[in-house]
Amino acid sequence: MKFLKYLYFVMVLMLTAPFAAAACEDGQTIKLAGLDWESGQFTTAVLNTILQDGYGCQTSTVPGTGTALETALAQNDIQIIAEQWIGRSPVMQKAVDEHKAAVVGDTLKGGATQGWYVPDYVKQEHSDLNSIEDLKKFAYLFPDPEAPQRARFLNCPSGWTCEIANSRLLDNTGLGEVFDNVRPGTGAALDAEITSAYEQKRPILFYYWQPTGLMAKYRFEPLEFPEHNAACWATILDANSQNRCVSGYPVSKLAVAVSTPFMEAHPDLVEMIKRLQFEPDMLNRAILEMSENQRSGEEQAQLFLKQNPHVWQQWVSEEAAGRLSEALGVAAPESSGIFRTWSISDGLNKSLKNTVQKHGEQLRSAGEVTLRILLPLERLLQTVPAWLVILVVGAIGLHATHKWWFALLCMFGFYTIGSFGLWEALMQTIALLTASVLLTMIIGIPVGIFTAYRKRLYQLLSPVLDVMQTMPSFVYLIPVLMLFGIGKVPALFATVVYALAPLIRLTALGIRQVSPQMIEAAIAFGSNRWQLLKWVLLPQAKPSIMAGINQAVMMSLGMVVLASMIGARGLGEYVLQAVQTLNIGQGVEAGAAIVILAIIIDRITQAYGSREKGSRHE
């Protein structure tokens, strides 16, 4: 009997040995950074799947911006960043120097390349455009729609390390005298502008890098730079440097960043991470498939691991390879239960792509009409002395409220924004806000009047207004960016669509609430439709219309800030930059400026609406 018990104990030990030898026997959850760019999402998902299914680890992903995630890694709040560009982050370098983190492995064979590119069709038509030294001669190919007399260079999003490098290179080469330095708000906005230009076969000059899906999808030609000089490059990355040297871009090594406690606790996992490596073409294709098929990083990682066992089996231990093969082999697609799979995304994407290809040029020409209103307004506001703008704001506040203390607070609020160094950004925001509200009023008030007494038409319009008012504001940025390009025009149209619904509703409501007896009296005295509208309906509905204008203004202001994500300059750009660089002080200053502007505008428009309402009841 004792022999049987001993034999049973030995068999249990043999069966559980692989799991006891698993790397995550401590039961602690390993937290990976939730990166927001495509190659980072894919690499994170591949590593996460290997840790979970191959090594039996409990894992989770923590979303955030680059700097915030690197800070969290240094504090061991997260343990892994699956794609780290070596030598580009002072935060990560400080963590490594202080032995709080380490950068291990080489995840992309040959390293990541970056530089300035033009589409292949531009190079085919202008074969002597080979280097950055040729750009002044060919500047006319890349006009800036917002400043046609100048050319345009499409930089990185504000807050990225490459944005500083590109800006310094523009200045050091003298190209800044000819080219406007345009910074999209996000990497997605940069991709959308490049895609839109390529589909329309428009010339475009831009910064880009690999690994990315666009590198596999389109053909881009790099422009030649001088040889890379490490000492010069260090000064180029310093925004405050006075050195005017020019250097080519380094080939950046991609690796995995891990916290020091994780590295000490899991040496076997670190060894696996050191062996993890992708071929450039393989990674670019995977990212392209992920993008074009609207797959998540996890879905693409599962597909990649199933299709390429010969690749990942070289990374993991023999035991982990067996467990991972078993997990991938038995994994079945999740059932949706009673729900059928419906999707409108493919149809919408194809429709948008066809529209861009066929009508993109006409739409951009139409967008230039709005620039004829917006740009002169912006130049006027920037030309007018700051003290005069402050006095005008105070006078408007006094006229609206008849309160001296409010007028003084308005003036002090604008003075405070200027003291933060945000005066130019404030004028850009006010110009875009003013143009957006004017266009919203031109469309919204007539539509509200027209639908007020047409019940059937208003019922048909109501679902559309519901969608416009409740759709997440970020969604409006997607189509307008593809149709109108990056900058002020898509920001203007997205803002108008978002702010239009409340003005139409409140205008129609105000018209319908006019007393029928008053309308009958006006008709009895011989008023025609125009006179009835001018002398009865609009004056009586004015408080409701003013409330609609107030709502439109506030929604426009909120959207103008979000529009910084697609390259619209202004206060929102400083907020976005602060988020991406984890600059708390800059974020508080820019946020306070937006709050001050919003309060002033809200109180002034409310005061005008209340005054009209009070005079109506007297």
What are the backbone angles phi and psi of residue 398, rounded to the nearest 5°?
-70, -40
**CA–CA distance, 154 with 164 (Å, rounded to integer):** 13
One-letter amino acid identity for 491? A
Model pLDDT, residue 13: 40
Place of tokens 């974020």: 587
Instruction: pLDDT band for 88, please (50, 70, 90 cuts).
Output: confident
- 93 and 217 fall within a common domain: no
Q: Which of the two residues, 607 and 207, has the higher pLDDT score?
A: 207
pTM: 0.71
Q: What is the pLDDT of residue 19?
A: 40
485 shares a domain with 388: yes
What is the tens place of the pLDDT at every residue in 287-336? Answer: 888 887 878 888 889 999 988 888 888 898 888 888 888 888 744 445 45
Grade residue 6 by pLDDT with cuts at 50, 70 and 90. very low
Domain boundary among 209, 236, 263: 236
Q: Looking at the structure, do residues 181 and 298 belong to the same domain, yes or no?
A: no
Rounded to whole angstroms, the Cα distance separating 380 from 397 reads: 21
**Confidence class of residue 8 from pLDDT cuts 50, 70 and 90?**
very low
In a domain, residue 159? The reply is yes
Do 225 and 286 share a domain, yes or no?
A: no
Per-residue pLDDT of 558-614, as tens digits, reads 877 777 877 778 888 888 778 766 678 888 898 899 999 989 988 988 888 776 555
Question: 312 in a domain, yes or no?
Answer: yes
When pLDDT is cut at 50, 70 and 90, the band that residue 78 belongs to is very high
- Residue 230 sits in the same domain as residue 256: no
Confidence category of residue 339, pLDDT binned at 50, 70, 90: low
pLDDT for position 534: 84
* pLDDT tier at 36, thresholds 50, 70, 90: confident
Q: pLDDT tens across 109-127, in order?
A: 888 888 999 999 999 999 8
- Among 207, 236, 265, the domain-final residue is 236
- Are the CB atoms for 283 and 209 separated by under 8 Å? no
Q: Is the pLDDT of residue 150 over 80?
A: yes
Is the separation of the CB atoms in 103 and 84 below 8 Å? Answer: yes
CATH of the domain at 271: 3.40.190.10
Query: Does 345 reside within a domain?
Result: no
Q: Are residues 487 and 408 in the same domain?
A: yes
Residue environment code for 533-559, b if the CB has 16+ CB neighbours within 10 A, otherwise e: beebbbebbbbbbbbbbbbbbbbbbbb
Same domain, 69 and 142: no
- What pLDDT, on the 0 to 100 scale, is given for residue 605? 85
Q: What is the pLDDT of residue 256?
A: 92
Q: What is the DSSP letter of 140?
A: G
Residues 219 and 262 in one domain: no
The model's pLDDT over 468-512, given as tens digits with 9 standing for 90+, comes to 888 877 777 777 777 777 778 888 888 888 889 999 999 999 998
Q: Tell me the pLDDT tens digit for each residue of 211-270.
A: 888 888 889 999 999 999 989 988 998 888 888 899 999 888 889 999 999 998 899 999
* Same domain? 517 vs 568: yes
On whether the CB atoms of residues 277 and 107 are closer than 8 A, the answer is yes
Last residue of a domain, one of 190, 211, 236: 236
* Residue 261 belongs to a domain: yes
Give domain status of residue 346, yes or no: no
pLDDT band at 46 (very low <50, low <70, confident <90, very high): very high
| Average pLDDT score over the chain | 84
Q: In the chain, how many domains are there?
A: 3
Whichever domain contains 436, its CATH number is 1.10.3720.10
Q: Which of 141 and 6 is assigned the larger pLDDT?
A: 141
Contacts of 250 (CB under 8 A, 6+ apart): 87, 228, 230, 233
For residues 407 and 75, give the distance between their C-alpha atoms in angstroms, rounded to a whole number.
48
Compute the average pLDDT of residues 352-367: 74
Identify whether 9 is part of a domain.
no
CATH for 178: 3.40.190.100
Lowest mean pLDDT across 415-424, 428-437, 519-528? 519-528
Q: Are residues 537 and 436 in the same domain?
A: yes
The per-residue pLDDT for 5 is 47
- Same domain? For 316 and 414 the reply is no
Q: How confident is the model over 35-55, as a mean pLDDT?
A: 89
Sign of CA dihedral 173, 174, 176, 178: negative
| Statement: residue 16 has pLDDT above 60 | no
Q: Is 341 part of a structural domain of the chain?
A: no
- pLDDT score recorded for residue 356: 74
> Between 254 and 615, whose confidence is greater?
254
HSE value, Cβ hemisphere, 13 Å, CA-based, for 424? 4
In a domain, 557, yes or no: yes
Same domain, 466 and 548: yes
Task: Examine the pLDDT at 378 and tell me if it is beyond 80.
Answer: yes
pLDDT score recorded for residue 396: 93
Residue 330 is predicted with a pLDDT of 45
Print the domain residue range for 141.
Answer: 114-120+130-236
Average pLDDT, integer, range 344-371 = 75
